[in-house]
Structure 1
Amino acid sequence: MPVVRVARMLSAVTFGFLYCVVCVTGCGNSGQVTGSQDDHSATVAASSAEEIETEDSENNSDQKNTERVTYQSGMEIGAIPLPFEVSDVTGPNKGKTLCYRCLYGERPVVGVFVRELDESTTKLIQELDAEVDAHQDEKLAAFVVMLTETPAEVKPNLEKIAAKYHIQHVPLTVYEGATGPPGYNVKQDASVNVMMWEGVVKANRAYQAGQLKPEEIKEVIADTKLIIH
């Protein structure tokens, strides 16, 4: 009996030892598999992140092609334009002092604030005049405001531009004061600031001297789709 007991005890010890070895070995393999799965998951996650980043980069690239970041000036999107008076130089209200913000009310409106009347600005006025003409049914309206401390000196130039380029749908006006009307936030070094609203501001683009190029003019005109329905 003692011999049998000793044999059984040795068998039990041997079995226990072998079981422990198997368990330890198995845990090691299990850990390696888990690590391998983690590495695979990390690789997949990294690959997905790269794909998302690439997609975002492509989307951002497309957005930059259609809505390039420009010089910042003027009202923020969603702001409500305040009333202000101008001296009208051309159009049906020539010679009058009036508020076009009030006159146009809730219509889709393009307000162009300028400090220079160079070739690019004149081209923008021409393109805008044609756009307003093409969207009479949608009641699109626009007006140009010359910001100046010397209204009497610039009025003849506005009249010449309107006559030379047959500007019929966009009145050219003068605001006395280079800082511009309160609430419109036209910066001092903004040569051209175009804001579009329909109740609230829907688009805003501004340019310093020399920045308004043919491509920028196209972008301004394209912005009218934001206020035309």
Structure 2
Amino acid sequence: MLCTAVLFIAGSTPAEAGEPQAAEAAATSVRSGEATASGNAAAVEDSLQPQPLVSGRTTGEYIPQFYSRVVTGPLMNRSVCFVCRNGQRPVVMVLVRQLEPGLKPLLRNIDRLVDRNRTTGLRSFGVHLSNDPFRSISQVQTFSFTNRIQMPLTVSTDAVASESCQNLHPEAAVTVVLYQRRRVIERFAFRENELTFDRVREVIQAVKQFAADELQPAEADPAPAADSAPVAAQKPEPSSLTAAGGS
């Protein structure tokens, strides 16, 4: 009876004594439910995040040849197959659908790495893809001149993005392909506005590693393979070409 009396003195009845435990159990259940809901919400949020793009030919695949219209540099206004021209050399190829802000640091840093490794054969080129390449010439030239881009920039139709050519993802605003001996070593792809500072740094680090691991003394340019005719770009008439914006 003493224990019961003590409980009474504390202001509790036997029935009331069990209420704190029940309340605690209820609170624990609520917290557990909240944690589960939070976990489910996080899972839903993760599922809504865009997955990394896969764009460009897969590692080890052969790079198909294609022509594009050069709009900057000494070969300006000529239709050139840079895949053919660079032959077996190590190359950084940048395929662009949109001239994003992140392109400036990306291309300028690639320029620096190419300049440092030019004697060992590293080369680069960029291609702006659109349904109307003639209309994009001035835009690409202005971008190159304003940002002091050294790599040759070209324009071509979106036929270059086709599965039979470079196999680009439809959502890819920028695709970077590192290849040597015309075999893909590594590739990167970005949707619109995904080319952030951190992603640019990721690509540049990969190019540095590519330069350190893959570069070999440059070989002579081989003739285009007889069974692999380059994809011809739909180019403007020569008489209608004008240099706009400088290069």
TM-score higher than 0.5: yes
Query: 2:161 is aligned with what amino acid?
Result: G
Residue 199 of structure 2 is aligned to residue 216 of structure 1: yes
In structure 2, list runs of 5 or more residues that go unmatched.
1-50, 217-247
**Contact (CA 8 Å) 1:70, 1:205: kept in 2 or not?**
no
Residue 206 of structure 2 is aligned to residue 206 of structure 1: no
Query: 1:180 is aligned with what amino acid?
Result: A
Moved more, 171-180 or 82-91: 171-180
Secondary structure of the residue that 2:135 maps to in structure 1?
helix
Higher helix share: 1
Moved more, 79-88 or 182-191: 182-191
Distance (Å, rounded) in 2 between the aligned partners of 1:129 and 1:158:
16
Residue 215 of structure 2 is aligned to residue 228 of structure 1: yes
**Contact (CA 8 Å) 1:108, 1:140: kept in 2 or not?**
yes
**Contact (CA 8 Å) 1:72, 1:206: kept in 2 or not?**
yes
**Contact (CA 8 Å) 1:86, 1:173: kept in 2 or not?**
yes
Equivalent of 1:101 in 49, 72, 83: 83
**Contact (CA 8 Å) 2:53, 2:169: kept in 1 or not?**
no
Distance (Å, rounded) in 2 between the aligned partners of 1:207 and 1:72:
9
Q: Greater Rg, structure 1 or structure 2? A: 1
Kindly indicate whether structure 1 or structure 2 has the higher relative contact order, using CA contacts under 8 Å at least 6 residues apart.
2
Deviations for 1:80-120, whole angstroms, at most 9, x for unmatched residues?
Answer: 10110000000121100010000000000011111100211
Query: 2:77 is aligned with what amino acid?
Result: G
TM-score by length of 1: 0.66
Give the alignment's Cα RMSD to 1 decimal: 1.6
Equivalent of 1:114 in 96, 104, 109: 96
Cα distance, 1:178 vs structure 2:
6.0
The number of aligned residues is 160
Distance (Å, rounded) in 1 between the aligned partners of 2:98 and 2:215:
28
TM-score by length of 2: 0.61
Aligned to 2:19: none
Residue 148 of structure 2 is aligned to residue 174 of structure 1: no
Distance (Å, rounded) in 1 between the aligned partners of 2:161 and 2:73:
21
Residue 70 of structure 2 is aligned to residue 88 of structure 1: yes
